[in-house]
A and B are shown apart, each in its own frame.
Chain A
Amino acid sequence: MSTVEEAERNASRMKELSAWGRLKVNRNWLAIWFMLPAAAFLLLFLAWPLLLGVWLSFTDTRLARPGKFIGFENYEWLWDDSVFWLSVFNTLLYTIVASIIKFVVGLYLALLLNRHMPFKAMIRSIVLIPFIVPTVLSAIAFWWIYDSQFSIISWSLKQMGLINQNIDFLGDGNLARASLIFANVWRGVPFVAITLLAGLQTVSPSLYEAATLDGASAWQRFRFVTYPLLTPIIAVVMTFSVLFTFTDFQLIWAMTRGGPANATHLMATLSYSRGILSGQLGEGSAIATAMIPFLLAAIMFSWFGLQRRKWQQGENND
């Protein structure tokens, strides 16, 4: 049998295949088939709880008691709730201050680690330690460090004769805020530093050499070469950092539970304490749902930050 005949027969057989059969082999459909398990997983474990949470926020559900739809009542309550607004303020303060410090310190560390120095590999692993330690463990450690009786900081300062009374780190509102921010920064810096370091290492050293010969000082090399080349990865790492900080719960809960006098209540901790501890699931969900617009804004911000990087894309390549 000639190969031409064979090919023709194959072609006609292809035509005879049912629509379903073709769906099974079509290239574009194939992609969907492959994605389906992952998509189902995401829907089941991400989208569904999210939707459920949003739905709960429109009901007066309590723990162990089904509620009914009450429209925006939960939100109206929150609107007039000064503790809620305090938690919004705290969350924004916590996120903004901690993120800025994490960015600055992380970038500084990354630049430092990117230089040639002895024991480079070891120092890099040491930097990662705060990131590896379980959050609760580091929270407990900080709790001790900040303890009103046994704080090592107070003790050291007293030994040096700088103060003569223990500092009550977690007892005073603003001091507690600062202490928590410090703990969060300590935990978050390694992630920022290591990610930025990875970004720094993709920058070709010959670019720095070229810039040096072009007459750039160290600061100018950073300002005109390193920083612009790093912006895409900065956008990504800072988005993650902001999201993590904004939704932080463990650290706060383990150290202050929102105290003293709600001074360190974040939206996440308030949502938990109202929803689970007080059993007002509907209200807790409303607080959690109120976080969504902030998070979306953060994502959009970095998304558009990333979009402008025209030089990265091979567009108009000819």
Chain B
Amino acid sequence: MASVQIRDVRKSFGDVEILHGVSVPIEDGQFVVLVGPSGCGKSTLLRMLAGLENITAGTISIGGRVVNNVHPKERDIAMVFQNYALYPHMTVAKNMGFSLMLRGESKSEIDTRVKKAAQILGLMPLLERYPRQLSGGQRQRVAMGRAIVREPQVFLFDEPLSNLDAKLRVAMRTEMKELHQRLKTTTVYVTHDQIEAMTLGDKIVVMHDGVIEQVGAPLELYDKPANQFVAGFIGSPAMNFLNGKLKANGSAYVETEQGHKLPLKSMPQGESGRDVVYGIRPEHFELGEGGLPAEVVVVEPTGSETQVVARIGNQEVIAVFRERQNLKPGDKISLRPRADTAHLFAKDSGKRI
């Protein structure tokens, strides 16, 4: 196990810069999730950690040692690829023991360690099978097994669950978390699924277009998104954004173009009349008097909750209610944002106010 320091790392492919100075400190034993939309450079950063891509600028150190020029095989890291990259011509046992075999471990040593990992992952009955003969979930487990038999300093995962069906994904998520609690190996996990990020990570790094938007614990990102991008990315369904002007008239509020008043807990700094974006999560709407007049567009009951898409003026918003609601499209309702849960962002920079 080891800590990992990523300091001001840049990456260019030819003339195109993909990563524009990324810094992430990762403590020993931490489970860090890199999350962001497709193409933002998550895999590239992970591959640079692994040594599969060279580092254009900045430094990466593992366990206190700068590894910029250290060959991948000397970095003592294990990586699980999105497509698993299992050796098709080797059995499950051979796949898992390959790195130990290369290291020159004895047959019996390889055998015991493969069996131990297989036990943890429930792969014992499959050891003599070939990858072709496994289901997607089993292959995923073998890929993980191949990583854990090595007992490396750091685990790297590149969207390991994205090829699985929804149910299996949830099950494997729990398994990954259990595994990490058991092995306590430093882990960097890439995903574009924010729920996976929220549930798995000790620390989440939100990336966008090659820069880091925010680093923090899951609930920190949820409660205090640093900017509009993070606010919209974390949480599902996504946060609603309403444009307006900051006003103070006894109490603070944001006034929309149609003249609706959106309540605020307190007046933030900044002059009155400033252009802002008012962010409110779907689950922070209440039904009741004195809210925004809205018209129901779609009602989506999921059983445990009810999602309502409603139109305020010419903008659609999503509200989620825990209680069952007897609403039909076309119904006129009044949506009241909870003042204490509202987020404010500067209109120009998107930064949190």
Contact = CB atoms under 8 A, between A and B. Distances in A.
Contacts of B48: none
Contact of A311 (B51, B132, B146): B132
A49 interface: no
Given A209-B81, A220-B102, A311 B88 contact: yes
Nearest to A206: B85
Contacts of A318: 133
Contacts of A225: 87
A210 B102 contact: no
Interface residues of B, number: 26
A215 interface: yes
Interface string A201-222: 0001011011111111100100
A112 B12 CA distance: 26
Interface in A272-314: 309-314
A212 B52 contact: yes
Q: Please classify how large the interface on chain A is, using the bins under 10, 10 to 19, 20 to 34, 35 or more.
A: 20 to 34
A229 interface: yes
A228 to B, nearest CB: 5
Contacts of A77: none
Interface of A: prevailing SS = helix
B130 A213 contact: no
B177 to A, nearest CB: 23
Contacts of A214: 73, 98-99, 102, 146, 150
Contacts of A204: 83, 85
A127 B281 CA distance: 63
Interface of A: 204, 206-207, 209-217, 220, 224-225, 228-229, 309-318
B84 to A, nearest CB: 9
Contacts of B90: 311
B302 to A, nearest CB: 34
Given A214-B102, A215-B99, A215-B103, A209 B88 contact: no
Nearest to A231: B89
B79 interface: yes
A216 B77 contact: no
A310 B130 CA distance: 9
A314 B133 contact: yes
